[in-house]
């Protein structure tokens, strides 16, 4: 995981709300995630939640897969904890969540 991508991912209140919503459930579709985030941030647009999810996927904090049974993408947290060494500017360790997709 790249430190810059991690920093971007966790420095936005919408992406934080998305991660909190995902932490509460095993996995979610975009619509489910948007519904949950809208409870905290009522004016957030569905497209904004989608872009936030994709940013989190790119940072390695969220995983996505296509679920054939519901014909939708599903998202889940990929990482439970991240340890950052600020003196070196690197991510030292990350604790992965047992994969919901396996």
Question: Which structural domains are found in the chain, ordered by start?
Answer: 3-96 (1.10.10.10)
**Comparison of pLDDT for 30 and 7, the residue scoring more:** 30
Question: What ranges make up the beta strands (E) of the chain?
Answer: 62-67, 72-77, 79-85, 90-96
pLDDT for the residue 98? 62
Average pLDDT over residues 19-43: 95
31: its two tokens: 């619509």
Average pLDDT over residues 23-43: 95
Contact 50, 18 (CB under 8 A): no
pTM of the model: 0.84
* pLDDT > 70? residue 81: yes
């Amino acid at each position: 995981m790249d430190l810059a991508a991690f920093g971007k991912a966790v420095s936005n209140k919408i992406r934080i709300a998305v991660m909190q919503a995902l932490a509460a459930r095993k996995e979610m579709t975009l619509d489910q995630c948007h519904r949950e985030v809208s409870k905290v941030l009522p004016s957030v647009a569905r497209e904004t939640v989608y872009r936030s999810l994709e940013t989190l996927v790119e940072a390695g904090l969220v995983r996505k897969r296509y679920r054939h049974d519901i014909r939708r993408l599903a998202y889940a947290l990929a990482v439970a904890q991240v340890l950052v060494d600020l003196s070196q500017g690197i991510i030292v360790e990350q604790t992965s969540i047992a994969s919901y997709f396996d």
